[in-house]
Chains A and B, each alone.
Chain A
């Protein structure tokens, strides 16, 4: 049994420059986003941060994985699915007028609208939630029951009422508890969320309530990830026999959930300026999902180049014939395709080896399958499972960083490899193309720092690795393109510089707003995109 982590309450009057809204990450979960947050908080020592951690239930989180930097002045925990926040059940009639408003609200949500109308809707629903439409109203009133059963009969295509009931209830409850949380949080000058979803919704609520800017840095695309989760989720039952399901049919509850996350994401996009993506493909996706293009921009992750650059002197003259996958042994990394690619490449280069550097404990079953595949391909002496490795020690010993993943965002190992002078071969996922071939004419002119192949194409992956390792000229060209690319575009100072700009702009707007000066939409994003500022135009409400 672990105890519930304690809140860190800043003394009243404490200046909070940035309130970070984090859903299920820092400081309790280690991984990409968490280490990024830690990087940012540590990097801006002159700003005072307040961290709002949004989790599912207290028992899902153990001890913090990070030592909090000193400039974290506050820490608030909120659990979306904790029973403790629910009002006690009691029979209640409920006000029919409130029911009418709720009905209209849902009708409007179902219709596609423009940003101003959505903002109005959010403001109105927040006001209602504080007045008549309390959480007790949603959970326990006769009116709410009437509305729910009507909607079920009208819309639900899935037979199970109890599932519908709990889906609707589970889905809506966090909106109330988050609105309550927004009331209790101390005011901050700027709000910063690293995802849409519940944290993004909270950001939108806070930003509207205090009339302060909201910054969104999206690492993955939240709604897309939820869509993938929901497709594979076991806990949402379809209640349809397998044979009655048609291919591609998502089931009513999945659609409900996806629609809700889309709505939440939309509210967050509406409220946020800038909307930051890690790389261009994601920025396009944000625009497609409803973000105002003017507010969008990219800030890539940056790495600490120094330690990796120092290893370049240890590199042998001839690149080691080693293709190395750096990552956890899990299905999303598609380690099996990597193993098959080793088979393909070693047919061309007999002394070639394939290394897998990453822990195997997350999915032992998958790891076992990978080892079996290795045996059946007769690669026992060529493929090595290394477990967790210190990358600065590993880099000089390998010839290529290889990613066979089926999904990635902006993989830092590629950048770390570049810094150490190791080119890469990857599948065409996330920002890999951008990292290998460059984005924009200037970047592209640096040349390719490796090669990109199709997902799950072991043949192409193996051939590309063999090509690079057996052609010293091509290898050297890729090596120098990689070094040049990471030093020019993906360093930590560069990332900090861009975020310094974001925070300074947001803090300035925050003060300006208090004086009644409206924002200039997308100012910082436009600068970060490197474009001329948008021509001033009439803001249509």
Chain B
């Protein structure tokens, strides 16, 4: 997300508390916006459909379907998102701007073909009991969601954060509206409406990309060539997304925690809702993440490498190294602080809040564990981001694989231990991966200059 720094720095320089607040708020909205819209959008469609769509199970079918689509498309394209972003960044660095859009279209083509085929197989084999319209929407939806991630990632690579935010707001607004309008048609209506909004959003993204980068060369698959994308990034992107979703899969497919919804899809009533709500608690942490790691850290990072390249003294280099390290430490500490305060506030207000919304207070303990887990995830994201900046791709793979393995193992364990341990699997897995990432980052910082100079 490099590049947001400039706008944020301007806000931060106002030297007033109000300016500071504005900067952090802006950062929070920028960084959390897209997924907040998706969660709120999904819940809104559900709430608006109550009383119109019968039975309520159909609403659940719709919400679960969309959740599965989001999850599976994120996991399937996770590697490509990371590797392609890096590929684009490398081309921009080479001043080969013209190659970006032809390859984006190439990636779109491949994504559509691969995800479409995959979804078609699933719809054909796994959803014999569903209607044909549902199956067609499933296939189209999977291809569409996969393409939305690819386009989002390119736009954030091109530093169009504000545009992304507006597109998501508009897209989910339209999804909610269309779903509301089509709700009389049941689950297929809700689904079609939702996808209509998503399609408009994707269309807007592509239009924006083509407006910024007019197509001057034919569509290209260059980025899929040998030695074009880093295999470690493909792995890291895949395992990160798998790692943060796999506990849900474990709960969905364990007999005692789940029930059948539609086709191969199962859901866990007890597990899913707290997870989604918990993610709303990390908005402040994400703001800090953006300011500290994408603004302050990058500033020292740039100075460090400038000093390395342009002949600074060793003392200067060491100084910028220290400041980089300090920023990481400070950033993690601040995320921890703001998340603790948030969790304390949530802890105080959540019973009355849940009562007001009408959610059983049985969910509260699990919700709190999940909120803590989500806070760990923000910190993990921050440290991984540092490792990406310092180009330690193998370390990132190690961390994300660890996350996946721990999350499966501990989630399974938590199910056998009983309901009061639910959620701890994810939380501990994230904590473990975070510790590993911190240890690797610390080891890296100890020998950063050595690695920078002596391994060339």
Tell me, yes or no, whether A binds B: yes
Q: What's the minimum C-beta distance from B413 to chain A, rounded to whole angstroms?
A: 36
Q: What's the minimum C-beta distance from B287 to chain A, rounded to whole angstroms?
A: 37
Interface flag for A161 (CB, 8 Å)? yes
Q: What's the minimum C-beta distance from B234 to chain A, rounded to whole angstroms?
A: 24
Interface flag for A165 (CB, 8 Å)? yes
Interface flag for B11 (CB, 8 Å)? no
Q: What's the minimum C-beta distance from B17 to chain A, rounded to whole angstroms?
A: 40
**A90 CA / B310 CA spacing, docked (Å):** 24
Interface residues on B, range: 10 to 19
List the A side residues contacting B451 at CB < 8 Å: 91
**A414 CA / B314 CA spacing, docked (Å):** 54
Interface flag for A82 (CB, 8 Å)? no
**A144 CA / B453 CA spacing, docked (Å):** 11
**A91 CA / B392 CA spacing, docked (Å):** 14
Binds B, one of A152-160, A223-231, A425-433, A508-516: A152-160
B454 touches A139 (CB 8 A): yes
Known: A142-B447, A142-B450, A145-B450. A239 touches B311 (CB 8 A): yes
Chain B residue at minimal CB-CB distance from A162: B311
B447 touches A161 (CB 8 A): no
A161 touches B450 (CB 8 A): no
For window 133-167 of A, CB contacts with B under 8 Å fall at 139-142, 144-145, 149, 152-153, 159-163, 165
A145 touches B454 (CB 8 A): yes
A89 touches B314 (CB 8 A): no
Known: A142-B447, A162-B309. A149 touches B454 (CB 8 A): no
Q: What's the minimum C-beta distance from A139 to chain B, rounded to whole angstroms?
A: 7
Q: What's the minimum C-beta distance from A237 to chain B, rounded to whole angstroms?
A: 7
List the A side residues contacting B454 at CB < 8 Å: 89, 139-142, 144-145
Size of interface on A: residues with Cβ below 8 Å to B: 20
**A161 CA / B319 CA spacing, docked (Å):** 13
Type the 1/0 row for B433-451, where 1 means its CB is closer than 8 Å to any CB of A.
0000000000000010111
**A91 CA / B443 CA spacing, docked (Å):** 13
List the A side residues contacting B310 at CB < 8 Å: 162
B308, B314, B317: residue with the most chain A Cβ atoms closer than 10 Å: B314
B453 touches A159 (CB 8 A): no
A159 touches B312 (CB 8 A): yes
Q: What's the minimum C-beta distance from B394 to chain A, rounded to whole angstroms?
A: 12
Interface flag for B212 (CB, 8 Å)? no
List the B side residues contacting A142 at CB < 8 Å: 447, 450, 454
B447 touches A140 (CB 8 A): no
Known: A142-B447, A142-B450, A145-B450. A159 touches B313 (CB 8 A): yes
B313 touches A160 (CB 8 A): yes
List the B side residues contacting A145 at CB < 8 Å: 449-450, 453-454
**A495 CA / B314 CA spacing, docked (Å):** 55
A161: contacting residue among B317, B455, B456, CB under 8 A? B317
List the B side residues contacting A239 at CB < 8 Å: 311
Q: What's the minimum C-beta distance from A102 to chain B, rounded to whole angstroms?
A: 15
Q: What's the minimum C-beta distance from A486 to chain B, rounded to whole angstroms?
A: 53
List the B side residues contacting A162 at CB < 8 Å: 308-312, 453
**A90 CA / B454 CA spacing, docked (Å):** 9
**A144 CA / B312 CA spacing, docked (Å):** 20
Known: A89-B455, A89-B456. A163 touches B450 (CB 8 A): no
A160 touches B311 (CB 8 A): yes
A159 touches B311 (CB 8 A): yes
A152 touches B311 (CB 8 A): no
List the A side residues contacting B313 at CB < 8 Å: 159-161
**A141 CA / B454 CA spacing, docked (Å):** 7
Known: A142-B447, A145-B450, A162-B309. A153 touches B314 (CB 8 A): yes
Type the 1/0 row for B302-329, where 1 means its CB is closer than 8 Å to any CB of A.
0000001111111001000000000000
**A153 CA / B317 CA spacing, docked (Å):** 13
B314: contacting residue among A91, A152, A237, CB under 8 A? A152
Q: What's the minimum C-beta distance from A392 to chain B, rounded to whole angstroms?
A: 54
Known: A142-B447, A142-B450, A145-B450. A160 touches B455 (CB 8 A): no
A160 touches B312 (CB 8 A): yes
List the B side residues contacting A159 at CB < 8 Å: 311-313
A142, A145, A163: residue with the most chain B Cβ atoms closer than 10 Å: A145
**A159 CA / B313 CA spacing, docked (Å):** 5
List the A side residues contacting B317 at CB < 8 Å: 161
A90, A149, A153: residue with the most chain B Cβ atoms closer than 10 Å: A149
Chain B residue at minimal CB-CB distance from A142: B450
**A417 CA / B93 CA spacing, docked (Å):** 61
**A448 CA / B456 CA spacing, docked (Å):** 61
**A139 CA / B314 CA spacing, docked (Å):** 18
List the A side residues contacting B456 at CB < 8 Å: 89
Q: What's the minimum C-beta distance from A468 to chain B, rounded to whole angstroms?
A: 55
**A499 CA / B122 CA spacing, docked (Å):** 89
List the A side residues contacting B309 at CB < 8 Å: 162
**A91 CA / B308 CA spacing, docked (Å):** 19
**A153 CA / B312 CA spacing, docked (Å):** 13
B314 touches A163 (CB 8 A): no
B455 touches A140 (CB 8 A): yes
**A140 CA / B455 CA spacing, docked (Å):** 6
B455 touches A91 (CB 8 A): yes
**A139 CA / B455 CA spacing, docked (Å):** 8
Q: What's the minimum C-beta distance from B319 to chain A, rounded to whole angstroms?
A: 12
A145, A162, A237: residue with the most chain B Cβ atoms closer than 10 Å: A162
**A450 CA / B455 CA spacing, docked (Å):** 61
B453 touches A165 (CB 8 A): yes
**A152 CA / B451 CA spacing, docked (Å):** 17
Q: What's the minimum C-beta distance from A380 to chain B, rounded to whole angstroms?
A: 49
**A152 CA / B449 CA spacing, docked (Å):** 14
Chain B residue at minimal CB-CB distance from A88: B455
Chain A residue at minimal CB-CB distance from B456: A89
**A165 CA / B308 CA spacing, docked (Å):** 10
Q: What's the minimum C-beta distance from A537 to chain B, rounded to whole angstroms?
A: 50
**A153 CA / B247 CA spacing, docked (Å):** 52
Q: What's the minimum C-beta distance from B305 to chain A, rounded to whole angstroms?
A: 11
Type the 1/0 row for B35-69, where 1 means its CB is closer than 8 Å to any CB of A.
00000000000000000000000000000000000
**A238 CA / B266 CA spacing, docked (Å):** 70
List the B side residues contacting A165 at CB < 8 Å: 453
List the A side residues contacting B314 at CB < 8 Å: 149, 152-153, 161
**A91 CA / B310 CA spacing, docked (Å):** 24
Q: What's the minimum C-beta distance from A43 to chain B, rounded to whole angstroms?
A: 47
List the A side residues contacting B450 at CB < 8 Å: 142, 145
List the A side residues contacting B449 at CB < 8 Å: 145, 149
Q: What's the minimum C-beta distance from A163 to chain B, rounded to whole angstroms?
A: 5
Type the 1/0 row for B176-211, where 1 means its CB is closer than 8 Å to any CB of A.
000000000000000000000000000000000000
Q: What's the minimum C-beta distance from B421 to chain A, rounded to whole angstroms?
A: 41
For window 359-376 of A, CB contacts with B under 8 Å fall at none
Type the 1/0 row for A191-203, where 1 means its CB is closer than 8 Å to any CB of B.
0000000000000
List the A side residues contacting B453 at CB < 8 Å: 145, 162, 165
List the B side residues contacting A90 at CB < 8 Å: 455
A237 touches B455 (CB 8 A): no
List the A side residues contacting B311 at CB < 8 Å: 159-163, 237, 239
Chain B residue at minimal CB-CB distance from A239: B311
**A211 CA / B314 CA spacing, docked (Å):** 44
Q: What's the minimum C-beta distance from A339 to chain B, rounded to whole angstroms?
A: 42
**A113 CA / B312 CA spacing, docked (Å):** 36
**A144 CA / B313 CA spacing, docked (Å):** 18
A-B pairs with beta carbons under 8 Å apart, 23 shown:
A89-B454, A89-B455, A90-B455, A91-B451, A91-B455, A141-B454, A142-B447, A144-B454, A145-B449, A145-B454, A152-B314, A159-B313, A160-B313, A161-B313, A161-B317, A162-B308, A162-B310, A162-B311, A162-B312, A162-B453, A163-B311, A237-B311, A239-B311
Known: A161-B314, A161-B317. 18 other contacts (CB 8 A): A89-B455, A89-B456, A91-B455, A139-B454, A140-B455, A142-B450, A149-B449, A152-B314, A153-B314, A159-B312, A159-B313, A161-B311, A161-B313, A162-B308, A162-B311, A162-B312, A163-B311, A239-B311
Q: Identify the 7 closest CB pairs spanning chains A and B, nearest first.
A: A160-B311, A161-B314, A89-B455, A159-B313, A145-B450, A162-B311, A145-B454
